Structure 1
Amino acid sequence: MTLLTQNEQQQVADAIDRIELTTDAEVVTVLAAQADDYHYIPLLWASLIALVLPGAVLLLTDWLGPWQLLLVQWLSFIVLALVFRLPGIMTRLIPAPVRFWRAGNLARRQFVEQGLHHTEGDTGMLIFVSEAERYVEILVDRGISARIDDAVWESIIERFTAQVREGEVLQGFLTCIQACGEQLQQHVPATHERNELPNRLVMLS
């Protein structure tokens, strides 16, 4: 997984600069490598399999004694816990609802941590991406949500999510920012010059 280079980050910042000239909205972008380390997932799966599999073998074959069963369970747990920690395998073991829940929580924390809930006129907007989870979310404060229905952002999020899946994170950001800018210019137009929050892309590794 590769996050954006300095040059690519600057392209995102420049895109925010351009749309903020025409709107009172304060836009912040956040790119996270992943929303959680999920260290508990390999242990959980290894525990479940180590408990069930040797017991099933015992019922079917009746060749394991109590001590052999315990030994097989421990060995199974250790081997599986190590194997399941491999990135390519662990990613497939994480249920989608868990991945999206963790990414969604991180997005909401970033909305607060980046100060988007304290902007003039309550016009903060967060464009959040968690790359490992292939998760995209747009969060807006009440000054924007009162003028633009949340359904407007759904198609923008869907397109961006598809681009993240294809590895086109930079283009996804640029397309998303432009699409959001068109909506903001129409419904939350600029009334005076302002720039309360940094326009840089926030990177969470």
Structure 2
Amino acid sequence: MTRAKDFFNDAEKERIEAAVQAAEARTSGEIVPMVVDDSYDYPRAEILGAGLFSLATATSLSWAFFGESLWHFLWLFAAAFFPFKLLIRNLPALKRRLINPAEIAAEVEEKALVSFLERDLHHTRDATGILILISLFERRVYVLADRGINETVPAHTWEEIVHIVTRGIHQGRTCEALCAAVARCGELLEKNFPVKKDDTNELPNLIVE
């Protein structure tokens, strides 16, 4: 799986930051794209998967070679557990299949909320911070806006931004899609949150974690 630090090359990072600067030149909103490796490490998926695969392996081998011996089953299970656990950890596609989609959605949302607070997006002068989170392991995009924006812009508006980015990822043009999403955020905010004469850039234009 591509790591967050390698997800965009230097030229693409410059394009994204330039797109943020252009959007923020029209609005007092602060738009922050953020890319993370994952929103959570999901240890339960590794334990559950390793347990299931070890159970199947130990049962098959003990029946085939050791006459259904319980003692042989136990050491076979123990011997297989940690290799399977490591295998699942290093195969993201397999690990994702062992996680309930509802848990993935909840963890991505929590990561967005925590990042919003940790990165001080809630401390902008007019409460107009927007986070566009791309969580690579989960293959999810989440948009979170501060209270100043949500009081004016309906929450379902951000579904359009999510769709722009996810479609771009699936088409292999993530940088272009993220730039388009940033520009669209600027358009949505321009009317209700016009740029002010004393406006300053309060937040980073791109975060890679």
TM-score range normalised by the length of the shorter chain: 0.7 to 0.9
Helix, strand or coil for the counterpart of 2:154?
Answer: coil
Q: Give the match for residue 31 of structure 1.
A: 35
Distance 1:86 1:123, change over 3 A: closer
Helix, strand or coil for the counterpart of 2:161?
Answer: helix
Q: Give the match for residue 19 of structure 1.
A: 23
Q: Give the match for residue 169 of structure 2.
A: 164
Write out aligned runs for 1:46-57 (5 A): 46-51=50-55, 54=58
Q: Give the match for residue 201 of structure 1.
A: 206
- 2:87 matched to 1:83? yes
- The alpha carbon displacement at 1:111 in A equals 0.8
Paired residues of 2:38 and 2:137 also in contact (CA < 8 A):
yes
Corresponding letter in the other structure for 1:172? A
Paired residues of 2:62 and 2:72 also in contact (CA < 8 A):
no
Helix, strand or coil for the counterpart of 1:28?
Answer: strand
Write out aligned runs for 1:22-171 (5 A): 22-51=26-55, 54=58, 63-87=67-91, 88-171=93-176
Deviation digits for residues 101-145 of structure 1 (CA, Å, limit 9, x no counterpart) = 222222111111221111112111111111222211111111111
User: Which structure 1 residue ranges, 5 or more long, are not aligned?
Assistant: none
Paired residues of 1:24 and 1:192 also in contact (CA < 8 A):
no
Helix, strand or coil for the counterpart of 1:29?
Answer: strand
- The alpha carbon displacement at 1:91 in A equals 3.7
- Give, in whole Å, the separation in 1 of the partners of 2:112 and 2:89: 25
User: Which structure 2 residue ranges, 5 or more long, are not aligned?
Assistant: none
Deviation digits for residues 27-74 of structure 1 (CA, Å, limit 9, x no counterpart) = 222111222344552232112443467569989xx9312212212322
Using structure 2 for the length normalisation, give the TM-score: 0.83
- Give, in whole Å, the separation in 1 of the partners of 2:86 and 2:25: 52
Deviation digits for residues 175-195 of structure 1 (CA, Å, limit 9, x no counterpart) = 101111111112222233312
Distance 1:114 1:57, change over 3 A: same
Distance 1:33 1:57, change over 3 A: closer
Distance 1:115 1:78, change over 3 A: closer
- Give, in whole Å, the separation in 2 of the partners of 1:53 and 1:176: 47
Range with greater deviation from structure 2 (76-85 or 144-153): 76-85
Distance 1:82 1:117, change over 3 A: closer
Helix, strand or coil for the counterpart of 1:158?
Answer: helix
Using structure 1 for the length normalisation, give the TM-score: 0.85
